[in-house]
Amino acid sequence: MTAKQGNQSSDSGVPDNTGEVVDRRSGVDRRDISSPSQADLDRRRGPGRRRTDFLRAAEEGEMNQEQFMFLVAINAFKEANGRTFPTWTDVLEVVRKLGYRKTLPSELCLGDKVQDWTESPDAPSGV
């Protein structure tokens, strides 16, 4: 089987399988094939989508107090532990040690992947 046979597509130029590669020359935009399931996590901007003040200020180098404190805490963790790239578990540990707790229901739609919960504001960090 040749590579061309492996990428069989319908007359519309859309591949028969969702795992197939779309030939960009066909004029089909891969983003139109499957809608993102995590729309609230999608930070790509398009027509009519504006950055929030929170994102705009950080991207322009004007961090607020919360963002700066997080940055300093991550850098302190990296120096104390000799890590250039902390893992996500390390980042969660820093966030919990900064005093953040899950006190409100999630604003993200994560589907059935995880069960949401809340904890009291004075719960121990557990790390």
pLDDT the model gives residue 54:
74
pLDDT in tens, the chain (127 residues): 554 455 554 555 555 555 566 666 776 666 665 544 555 666 665 666 677 777 777 777 788 899 899 999 999 999 999 999 999 999 999 999 999 999 999 998 888 889 999 999 999 999 9
With respect to residue 2, please indicate whether it lies within any of the assigned structural domains. Answer: no
Asked if 14 and 28 count as a contact pair (C-beta separation under 8 A), the reply is yes
Residue 16 maps to a domain: no
* Residue 88 maps to a domain: yes
| Domain annotation covers residue 20 | no
Domain limits at 119?
A: 51-103+115-127
**For residue 41, what pLDDT is reported?**
61
Whether residue 57 is contained in a domain is answered as yes
Residue 9, in any domain of the structure: no
In a domain, 74, yes or no: yes
Question: How many domains in the chain?
Answer: 1
